[in-house]
Each structure stands twice: as C-alpha cells, then as structure tokens.
Structure 1
C-alpha cells in the first residue's frame, strides 16, 4: 500500500512539473504574442490555471520532502513527551484541515460541472477542468496526512527533515 501511495505522490509531482512548464509556455507565448501584435484571448487565464494546478498538485510531495514550513521554535524547547503530543496534534489538525479543503474542492468541481459554469475571462473554459487539478492535489494532501499519521503510529517518520534547513537564531 505504501508503494502505491508513494507512486501517487510522484504522479502528482510529475503533473505539477508539467503544469509549471505549461505556465512557463503560456507566459512566453504571451510575451511573443505582444511583440508580434497578436491577440490570443484567454492566455493569461490559462497561465493562471497552470500555476494553480502546479501549486495544488505539489502539496503532497512537498509535505513528504519536508518543504512545507514547520515552526519548530516551540517543539525544540519542550520535553520529548510534549513534543510527541504536539506532533500528533499537528498531524491530526493538518488532516482535518486538508480533508475539509479537499471536500469543498471536490464539491466545487461538481457544482461547476453540474451548472456548466464557465470562466468569465476571454477563454470561457469550463471551470471544472482547472478545478479538477485543485481537487486532486487536495485529495493527495489529505492522503499524505493519513499516511503521515499511519507511519507515526508505527514509529516511523513521514516528513523528511533536511540537514541544511535554515535555522534562525
């Protein structure tokens, strides 16, 4: 099961990279189009969709690699028992928040699909298509917290702690 979840994180990270490249391509195309006096309607909207997709799809992978901001100012100054309790609470609260956001992201996709909602920008794209990447990333993020809690229960660590993390004193 762990291998399947790891592959899902890798898939989402790969899709995030593709979305980032799409955003880069849309921005470059926009610059070239302006220089050539071309009008490509909705190009800014597509760049925005791609950037949002890159952000949401990368959430589980960046949590796994320890790239999310963790405030350890308090954790470094408490006893190991209190630290364990705070880490359990943090993972539980993270799961609750991620599940809440995932639920509403899925609901947003469904409402946009069922009401045939389209973008108000010049592209007039169906909104459920870019919202799908957001929902998928939120589902992966919630799953990553479930995975983190399961590994914590077994005594392992989910989040990689970098040795070159910035420490501010």
Structure 2
C-alpha cells in the first residue's frame, strides 16, 4: 500500500511539473502574440492561471511528504515525548479532517460546474470543471498523504523525509 501511495504522489508531482511547463508556454506565447500588432489568442491568461493553480494543488502531497509544508517543529522539539506524541496525533487528525473537507468541497465544485455547464467568463469559454479537476485531484492526493502520515505515525514508521541539519537551522 505504501508503494502505491508513493507512486500516486510521484504521478501527481509529474503532472504538477507538466502544469508549470504549460504555464510557461502559455505566458511566453501570450507575450509573443502581444508583440505582433493586432494578433492575440484569447484565453491565454486564463490558461496560465489554470496551469499555475493545477501545479500548486497537484504538488500538495509530495510537498507534504518531503516536509516542505510549514510545520511547527520549534514547538515540538522541546516537548516531552508523551506531549509531543499527543500533539502529533492531534495535528495529523485535524489535518486529515480539514483535508477531507477541502477535497469534498473541491470535488463538489467540479460536479456543480459540470452539472450547470459553468464556463469561464473569458472569450474562449472554457468549461470550468476541466481546470477544477486538477484542484480536486490534488486535494484527494493531500487526503491520501495525510491519512498515510497518520497511519505511519500509528505504526511507528517514519513518514516524512529526513530533514538535513542545515535545513533544520533555517527553520
């Protein structure tokens, strides 16, 4: 199960990288078409925004796994072991509940946009459920990562990537 989750995180991270390249290409194309007098491609600004948002959401699980999300390690490092364990369980449980709510909301938003045929207000009238799908997928990945972290903590197995001493000093 651990291997399946790791592959899911990696797949979402690859999709996030593809989204960043798509954002770069659409911004570059938008700049290039503005240099040509009187020629534009409608919707490129929107596509760049969709791509950046997709990259942010799709990278959530991998960023969480590698410890790149903001965590309050300063408060935990001096806590007694029992208090530290309680705080870690509490934060992972609350994080799981919040991420579940976020994923439910994102999936519901995709469904409503699809059901009502909601389109972007830009000239290209992109169906909004298409870019919202990456948000929902990233949120689902984040739920899986939060549940994975909680189960790993319950089993006594390390979930987060080890932090180098240099990075720990920077926090």
Give the TM-score band, short-chain normalised.
Answer: over 0.9
User: Corresponding residue for 1:39?
Assistant: 40
Paired residues, number? 169
User: Corresponding residue for 1:103?
Assistant: 104
User: Corresponding residue for 1:167?
Assistant: 169
Report which stretch shifted further, 155-164 or 6-15: 155-164
| Offset of residue 73 of structure 1 | 2.1
For residues 128-150 of structure 1, give each alpha carbon's deviation from its aligned partner in whole angstroms, at most 9, with x where no partner exists. 00000000000000010111111
Point out the structure with the larger helix share.
Answer: 2
Distance 1:102 1:115 in 2: 20
For residues 48-82 of structure 1, give each alpha carbon's deviation from its aligned partner in whole angstroms, at most 9, with x where no partner exists. 00000000000001111111111222112211111
Distance 2:5 2:170 in 1: 34
Unmatched segments (≥5 aa) in structure 1: none
Distance 1:153 1:126 in 2: 42
Aligned residue for 2:167, secondary structure, equals coil
Distance 2:34 2:76 in 1: 51
For residues 98-145 of structure 1, give each alpha carbon's deviation from its aligned partner in whole angstroms, at most 9, with x where no partner exists. 000000000000000000000012221000000000000000000101
1:89-168 alignment to 2 at 5 Å? 89-163=90-164, 164-167=166-169
TM normalised by structure 1 equals 0.96
TM normalised by structure 2 equals 0.95
Aligned residue for 1:89, secondary structure, equals helix
1:8-19 alignment to 2 at 5 Å? 8-19=8-19
Report which stretch shifted further, 106-115 or 157-166: 157-166
Instruction: Answer yes or no: is the 8 Å Cα contact 1:9–1:60 preserved in 2.
Output: yes
Give the CA RMSD over aligned residues: 1.2
Instruction: Answer yes or no: is the 8 Å Cα contact 1:17–1:54 preserved in 2.
Output: yes
Instruction: Answer yes or no: is the 8 Å Cα contact 1:43–1:123 preserved in 2.
Output: no
Distance 2:12 2:20 in 1: 12
Instruction: Answer yes or no: is the 8 Å Cα contact 1:118–1:124 preserved in 2.
Output: yes
Unmatched segments (≥5 aa) in structure 2: none
